[in-house]
Structure 1
């Protein structure tokens, strides 16, 4: 009986085992799907919170980054799916797991891994239900990597070959790609083609909506009617609430663009009345406020913005309402301080939203404007003190009154500074008012100040034309612009601006002085290139040209070329110095005159500045606010190698600070610019190894080794990786390379003593896997910052003058903010971005950083270069605690008010309230001359 019973039980046991195995891999895949569903839910919730802002006054570069929580869930899903592939290769869920893992990689931004997995699915499972979907997702990965030609080719193949649901998605993406590159005509054609091929698809509403938005983007009157029809078709195609809202909202915009403003306003108000669009009410009211503002109904606009703030606190809409309120106060009422407060409040309302980015950008413009104004004021005060005269106003106005003299030694003469630095600062202020913050009246006032201070400047046509442009383009006042255009024609007939004035007024164009000089210069240049050593054949011609066209850009170029010929070819330094001196005097306002002036200043003060810089560099430990780290040199050309090194620098910092996903993104960007990039390949391999993808790490290490065989760390890493992969031959090979290259290391000497036949014997013996795994070799430290040998610099950037940040009134603790600062060639911060920190500290840190002064980075050839640094900005609780800090602010406020009262200045109530939050301007050394922008219009 027992044998028979056993024969009965064996099949049953086998069936149970198989069933258990199936349950295990099914449960593993079930968990992968569960994590993926959770990730999708988190991602969609995140996108919904920030939905719609792409078409509300900003482009996709303003979009918030993806959800970190979703990233983690996608990672868990990918790991579970990978486990199915590793342990249950024969299961019927392999293609399911591959597809799910690929999508998870895509949403995490790991496009290379996604493409590899999708290709494996297409190759090994051509009959899979996911085959066409896999091709579509691979096209999306190519698109995300900016491999646009291949992505388009694959989308077009899918549009022709794939089932309807995938083909329509491909057609939609073709239209989106054209839209993103601003080829709206092509986008319209792609959307129409897809609609004609699949008129009944489930994506019909989205296709009609995007078609209408592309038609709107052309901004052509005849297209607005077509857009309205597209939006009607959207509403007839069973749209979801978001699509319906956008179609109706854009219908209002189309009516507004056609001049039918009343209908547009009715559309917006109708949207407010429908409860199902409650989630969109904030954005709708923002558009209503914008409509009121365009109609000059400013009080009504402010009321709409205020209601958004009250009804939807803490949302992106509320932050945008604060930003637009600040912008209105700034542009319509000139309330700079009040506007700054609204921008700062927008930063706190919804950190990370689009409005915060816009507000920070505007605060940056206001900060730069303040810098230029302070520099002009400082130059005026120095000039007045040196001449014993009265300092004039920064910008002249009819209501200006001479201050009561408290110094009897001063004369009654009113003076202002009139040097080239002041001219540059005034022009910079003009352009910020005109282009960045949209205050045309202030821009005109500053251009008038340029004309008043510099009546004989070669830059006068530029200032006059700018005033005419503001009246025509910003104020829509042709009558006010006409006198300035006429003045250009009469007083500066050979200027490029005069020719533009003739074109505007419908008059005959003339050859400008620059054009005539340019033709003559081309003739001389051909002669020079024939015999560059024979300077007597072309220098007299250059001299004649520079004299005939004094003050022009080409004239300055001719004088500069003549001076360099004496210096570089003849070696006549005395004649060269004489010519550089004349160039600085006669062509001071051109690029070449400024180069000559800078050359002279460097020669006169270079040794002193270098000594001062050297003392700073060897000064020992730095105090709070002085700590910086060089991140990257800013490329000054389209050189992909320089751009690749910049991305490596930012990747190293992100890795050093623990932002590993950000570091991976930067290394991948670097490799897109330059594949021969061993540093990026190596660090990307390290990150891949840490993520558990050993095969990918090995591939990256080997690619790095092909370009850099001198990197000892690579051999250590490859030994460890092949040991972990149980590949004994490769592990032994790279271990021998480690021994050969690192023989002086005590741990290597110990290895040779323990295994004497491994390396030094005539017949070397390999270590087995167990011995390899038992080795406890410490890997060398990885360099995550640049060393001197990595950078072609004679001098690295240093802090020259710090600006103490104001401890925020709302703060209650200490903090550290990490800032990325782009230092220009003069040592001034050009851009400041927050890398790490929280409000309210970040706003104060950014403001303070713009007041820093640095020693710039200097190349080995002695030329300054723009450089990115990481600035550590500490905030300590003031001595005595928060209450003491508040008391100090109040004391400073009272002193400011008393001083203002003593000088006879009126003190506004809001100044009394806000003075405690203000700080005195940082002590800044006088700025070097900044290059003027283009000599043309």
Structure 2
């Protein structure tokens, strides 16, 4: 027995050493897998990187399961959080960083766990809590201060809040001139200034960046960005040699260089050289779309419409979802409308200008430009038949596109005062709920007198104004009634209650029933009240391919912010939507940017971002029934949580 005890005593240190080596080797392998995953991520080998991170999690979890009290337990917990962070699983990363802080409060890894928890919250769009954590890091952990400050400033760039991003990044670079984040901060500062049109600051930031980067290819790309800023400032002669110096070195950068060089040449009057340069662009990418759009625009401005159409079509085929691809599609629609107008004999200036406004309103969805053109019709041709129709169309945009019934009232009152004897003035009275003659069965074109009424039938009351809480989905009063019960109702695009030029008038609501006296009528039955503000809010609309808040929507957003302040326990989901044009991935991103824009507006209005959740549906939940109703799809909807 004593001999057995002595033998066991000699084996015990070896067993302990083996156990220690086992959990160290397990954790060592976890670290190795994590490092390999980071390297593969930098090489953009996403699938293989994810496999390595998953193995790092597996090995680290094994350390915690078998040796929970070992000296590597806090390291294993932290490594799991880092691996989830690199895989983009930010919720899981946050939980493991929390676990480390709670279970190992004395660990030297706590500062980094708090720091990475804040970064994970930023990536997870939990901006309020993230700012609180990163501010804590800046105060309490000097070794991580510059990283926390950079990511706080960078978060505005990620959210496309360009003004705050530019200001915050400039302050960061001033306070931390030697920071390891200097290159990324300069890249983001320059890009933010470009978005804001601060071209001088953009140029300066890119010039600073060019002196710091060591990669010659990136330096060539930065030279193109400097040239872009110079062109925007009108300094074309300085841009040309800068572009030519970088052209030809890297084939995958040449398309961008040729587009920029063509722009600079065109601005200095060398149009033939510019066209020749743009034709060198070969890629089916954003630069290919821009080059051929600019060639098409040149031909259109010179009256060569067939050549313009051919190049716009090429721009669309190069990349129809890019900015210039979309512009090419719009120009094609405009050329088609002009061709139709010529074929139907629309020759008078007032007719042509009104038709142009209609194209921007109904075909292109550019309602701000349409409003401007309608006003130009009114101002330039006040004695024409198109002037009152243009005024009613402006009110229609306010009422049905912008969901701003109150905003339409001044235009309707001016229409009644200036053109009291027109059918458009009568329609304005109906919209305002004022006494008006019965609506004829057709509203004739403005160039001809109103047609006599047909056999009258019962008239429905016009819809009430649309306020916050009202979805505004009922059609305007000029549209025919919904189909019967054997055919499900279909969403109809809202169009003005008058006919476009040169076309037969569309039917509107019929006259009152026979024997019903004309003049003021008893008040129609009261409609059900719209949903209360504590159950629904009306959508916010957006211009085509844009994510910026329109001035007309700020009043509605202000009412939402007021309601949220009055109900501090309620939370709101903001869901962004797009019309069906464009690729699914692009539309998902655009819907997200629209929701984030609304969230940023409400946050600036004093709403805690923790109470605002964003989502995107892209173009998967459209509500229009055709291109003329696409404006209804471009929206952010609100729902209470």
- TM-score tier by shorter-chain length is 0.5 to 0.7
- Aligned-pair distance for 1:108? 3.3
2:343 is aligned to 393
2:613 is aligned to none
* Aligned 1:664-743 pairs, distance under 5 A: none
- Give the distance between the partners of 1:219 and 1:73, measured in 2 at CA: 43
* Aligned 1:647-658 pairs, distance under 5 A: none
- Give the distance between the partners of 2:322 and 2:297, measured in 1 at CA: 19
Please point out which of 96, 100, 103 is paired with 1:124.
103
* Partner SS for 1:90: coil
Taking a change above 3 Å as real, the CA distance of residues 576 and 267 of structure 1, as seen in their structure-2 partners, is: same
1:58-115 CA-to-partner distances (Å, cap 9, x unmatched) read xxxxxxxxx5554455444434433333333223333333233223323433222111
TM-score, length basis structure 1: 0.41
- Aligned-pair distance for 1:140? 1.9
- Aligned-pair distance for 1:154? 2.4
* Partner SS for 1:146: coil
Please point out which of 53, 66, 71 is paired with 1:92.
71
Please point out which of 140, 152, 155 is paired with 1:177.
155
* Aligned 1:275-354 pairs, distance under 5 A: 280-292=253-265, 294-295=267-268, 297=270, 300-301=273-274, 303-304=276-277, 307=280, 309=282, 319-333=285-299, 334=305, 335-341=308-314, 343-344=316-317, 346=318
* Partner SS for 1:595: coil
Please point out which of 41, 44, 47 is paired with 2:42.
44
* Partner SS for 2:27: helix
Preserved CA contact (<8 Å) 2:236 2:267 = no
2:410 is aligned to 515
Q: Do residues 824 (structure 1) and 623 (structure 2) align?
A: yes
Q: Do residues 271 (structure 1) and 246 (structure 2) align?
A: yes
Please point out which of 123, 126, 140 is paired with 2:119.
140
- Give the distance between the partners of 2:25 and 2:328, measured in 1 at CA: 54
2:168 is aligned to 190
1:330-384 CA-to-partner distances (Å, cap 9, x unmatched) read 433354355435543x46xxxxxxx8655875687689879x969x97xx9xxxx
* Aligned 1:845-864 pairs, distance under 5 A: none
- Give the distance between the partners of 1:37 and 1:242, measured in 2 at CA: 27
Taking a change above 3 Å as real, the CA distance of residues 259 and 197 of structure 1, as seen in their structure-2 partners, is: same
- Aligned-pair distance for 1:286? 4.0
- Aligned-pair distance for 1:867? 13
1:637 is aligned to 539
Q: Do residues 152 (structure 1) and 33 (structure 2) align?
A: no
Preserved CA contact (<8 Å) 1:71 1:108 = yes
- Give the distance between the partners of 1:306 and 1:73, measured in 2 at CA: 45
1:649-702 CA-to-partner distances (Å, cap 9, x unmatched) read xxxxxxxxxx9xx9xxx9xx9xxx9xxxxxxxxxxxxxxxxxxxxxxxxxxxxx
- Aligned-pair distance for 1:169? 1.8
- Give the distance between the partners of 2:332 and 2:51, measured in 1 at CA: 38
Q: Do residues 252 (structure 1) and 227 (structure 2) align?
A: yes
- Give the distance between the partners of 1:8 and 1:108, measured in 2 at CA: 52
Which structure features the higher share of helix residues? 1
Q: Do residues 558 (structure 1) and 469 (structure 2) align?
A: no
Taking a change above 3 Å as real, the CA distance of residues 578 and 299 of structure 1, as seen in their structure-2 partners, is: same
- Aligned-pair distance for 1:264? 1.7
- Aligned-pair distance for 1:257? 3.0
1:768-801 CA-to-partner distances (Å, cap 9, x unmatched) read xxxxxxxxxxxxxxxxxxxxxxxxxxxxxxxxxx
Preserved CA contact (<8 Å) 2:275 2:295 = no
Taking a change above 3 Å as real, the CA distance of residues 324 and 171 of structure 1, as seen in their structure-2 partners, is: same
Please point out which of 173, 179, 186 is paired with 1:201.
179
- Give the distance between the partners of 1:72 and 1:258, measured in 2 at CA: 48
Preserved CA contact (<8 Å) 1:35 1:77 = yes
* Aligned 1:225-240 pairs, distance under 5 A: 226-237=201-212
- Aligned-pair distance for 1:170? 1.7
- Give the distance between the partners of 2:177 and 2:16, measured in 1 at CA: 48
Preserved CA contact (<8 Å) 1:252 1:265 = yes
Preserved CA contact (<8 Å) 2:243 2:261 = yes
2:401 is aligned to none
Please, which moves more after superposition, 171-180 or 544-553? 544-553
Taking a change above 3 Å as real, the CA distance of residues 202 and 429 of structure 1, as seen in their structure-2 partners, is: same
* Aligned 1:769-848 pairs, distance under 5 A: 822-826=621-625
- Aligned-pair distance for 1:156? 2.6
Preserved CA contact (<8 Å) 1:369 1:432 = no
Preserved CA contact (<8 Å) 1:319 1:356 = no
* Partner SS for 1:109: coil
1:602 is aligned to 481
Taking a change above 3 Å as real, the CA distance of residues 830 and 95 of structure 1, as seen in their structure-2 partners, is: farther
- Aligned-pair distance for 1:595? 2.5
Taking a change above 3 Å as real, the CA distance of residues 575 and 159 of structure 1, as seen in their structure-2 partners, is: farther
Greater gyration radius: 1
Taking a change above 3 Å as real, the CA distance of residues 515 and 143 of structure 1, as seen in their structure-2 partners, is: same
* Partner SS for 2:197: coil
Taking a change above 3 Å as real, the CA distance of residues 199 and 366 of structure 1, as seen in their structure-2 partners, is: closer
Specify which structure has the bigger relative contact order, considering alpha-carbon pairs within 8 angstroms and separated by 6 or more residues: 2
Preserved CA contact (<8 Å) 1:74 1:108 = yes
- Aligned-pair distance for 1:117? 1.0
* Partner SS for 2:424: coil
- Aligned-pair distance for 1:181? 5.1
1:787 is aligned to none
1:855-880 CA-to-partner distances (Å, cap 9, x unmatched) read xxxxxxxxxx9799xxxxxxxxxxxx
- Aligned-pair distance for 1:243? 6.4
- Give the distance between the partners of 1:23 and 1:118, measured in 2 at CA: 26
- Give the distance between the partners of 1:555 and 1:8, measured in 2 at CA: 109
Preserved CA contact (<8 Å) 2:354 2:373 = no
Taking a change above 3 Å as real, the CA distance of residues 427 and 252 of structure 1, as seen in their structure-2 partners, is: closer
In structure 1, list runs of 5 or more residues that go unmatched: 48-66, 310-316, 348-354, 381-391, 399-417, 437-442, 448-458, 467-483, 500-511, 521-542, 565-573, 584-590, 615-633, 648-658, 674-818, 833-864, 869-937
Q: Do residues 577 (structure 1) and 458 (structure 2) align?
A: yes
Preserved CA contact (<8 Å) 1:32 1:76 = yes
- Give the distance between the partners of 1:144 and 1:544, measured in 2 at CA: 56
- Give the distance between the partners of 2:321 and 2:413, measured in 1 at CA: 47
2:93 is aligned to 114
- Aligned-pair distance for 1:118? 1.1
Taking a change above 3 Å as real, the CA distance of residues 308 and 73 of structure 1, as seen in their structure-2 partners, is: farther
- Give the distance between the partners of 2:324 and 2:145, measured in 1 at CA: 41
1:897-929 CA-to-partner distances (Å, cap 9, x unmatched) read xxxxxxxxxxxxxxxxxxxxxxxxxxxxxxxxx
Preserved CA contact (<8 Å) 1:365 1:432 = no
- Give the distance between the partners of 2:61 and 2:113, measured in 1 at CA: 17
- Let me know the Cα RMSD of the aligned residues: 5.8
1:281-313 CA-to-partner distances (Å, cap 9, x unmatched) read 55444433443455565654555455553xxxx
Preserved CA contact (<8 Å) 1:546 1:556 = no
1:614-664 CA-to-partner distances (Å, cap 9, x unmatched) read 9xxxxxxxxxxxxxxxxxxx99636999996989xxxxxxxxxxx9xx9xx
Taking a change above 3 Å as real, the CA distance of residues 11 and 319 of structure 1, as seen in their structure-2 partners, is: farther
Preserved CA contact (<8 Å) 1:282 1:318 = no
